[in-house]
Amino acid sequence: MITIAVDCMGGDHGTQVTLPASRAFLDAHPEASLILVGLGGELSDFSHPRARIVTATEVVAMDDPLEIALRRKKDSSMRVAIQQVKDGAAQAAVSAGNTGALMAISRYILKTIDGIDRPAIAGQIPNATGGATTVLDLGANVDCSAEHLLQFAVMRSALVSVLSNKDSPSVGLLNIGEEVIKGNEVIKKAGELLRSAAKNGDLNFFGNVEGNDIFKGTVDIVVCDGFVGNVALKTSEGLASMIGAFLKAEFSRNIFTKIAAVAALSVLNALKNRVDYRRYNGAALLGLRGLVFKSHGSADVMAFGTALNRAYDAARSNLVERVQVRIAHAAPLLAPAESVQ
């Protein structure tokens, strides 16, 4: 039985999304159970034989500063959910709440794996092959050293191998060109470390990739710092919205554009579905001594359900242990990274 702790209060919609998604998840996974964490009054009407309610007295708001979320709200639904993982009551936690707070609280409670300096947020961006490219970091670390980028690559290789059944997923380093001489000093050094790791058998390094390779699906994994990764993520999320707005606009024009829109409707709808972020929702916080998954704050029931499914698959596959094994094997290359100013 895999048990997942759910921060039911997090995100833009709170229990209006998390509770229906939790019920649907339980109905679809008879071998799973949930610990639903939230304000008592919000959860009082929920009942399921494989769900347990744990009450919290506080909620981390989406705009709460880290100091308040970490130091003052010690009985928040987010913190209590993560504590369930620390205590061994759950194998993973899922929250749609404040990303910075979730990262800070998770790191404080669960600590990082030996050999890892910083946890990273790893998620998926739809690509032209019909699948998705895994990208990290997606925003947890704006500035990264070369060693951090290597740590991200090793951790994400473990995650992709677990969730996609690929023994040796390909890894690309995001750069301004494919040539090894391009990029700043951090990227050049990261490339050297990744090539060394490939020779050591720690990962399957493809080489440098450019931004369009994320959407082309050139490699399974793209490694970058959190600033660039978050921009790429928000760009991909905007694509589905743009297609939907285009369809609406064309149907509201004259008869000729309506006819053209109808003719292209099936193709455009297929494209919209392919780039729908809800199908890929649920980013793993990698590098921790426990599993935590971040759902998009504006997730609907379908999207939050996807995050629950990802957390379940990772827990069932013993992801943390697999990451630890890979990190230990790559230890000679993962010397403590110098702090980045």
* Residue 262 confidence (pLDDT) above 70: no
Number of domains in the chain: 1
Which has more confidence, 323 or 249? 323
The whole-number average pLDDT for the span 10-31 is 97
Which of 40-54, 98-112, 227-241, 326-340 shows the lowest mean pLDDT across its residues?
326-340
* Residue 338 confidence (pLDDT) above 60: no
The whole-number average pLDDT for the span 91-96 is 98
| Element at 157 (helix H, strand E) | helix 146-164
Which stretches of 32-169 are assigned E, i.e. beta strand? 32-39, 51-56, 92-95, 120-126, 132-136
Judge whether 129 lies within some domain.
yes
Q: What is the mean pLDDT of the chain?
A: 88
Judge whether 228 lies within some domain.
yes
Judge whether 105 lies within some domain.
no
Which stretches of 57-130 are assigned E, i.e. beta strand? 92-95, 120-126
Judge whether 89 lies within some domain.
no
Judge whether 8 lies within some domain.
no
Judge whether 54 lies within some domain.
no
- Give the domain extent around 229: 115-282
The whole-number average pLDDT for the span 48-57 is 97
Segment of 58-62, 162-166, 319-323 carrying the highest mean pLDDT: 58-62
Which has more confidence, 7 or 129? 7
Which has more confidence, 272 or 59? 59
Name the band, by pLDDT with cuts 50, 70 and 90, for residue 267. Answer: low
pTM: 0.84
Judge whether 145 lies within some domain.
yes
Task: Tell me the CB-side half-sphere exposure of residue 201, using CA atoms within 13 A.
Answer: 3
Contacts of 197 (CB under 8 A, 6+ apart): 150, 153, 154, 203, 205, 330, 333
Give per-residue pLDDT as tens, 132-168. Answer: 899 989 888 888 999 999 999 998 888 888 777 777 8
| Residue whose C-alpha is closest to residue 294's, from 107, 57, 28, 117 | 107
Which of 111-125, 263-277, 326-340 shows the lowest mean pLDDT across its residues?
263-277
Judge whether 294 lies within some domain.
no
Q: What is the CATH number of the domain that holds 119?
A: 3.40.718.10
* Residue 244 confidence (pLDDT) above 70: no
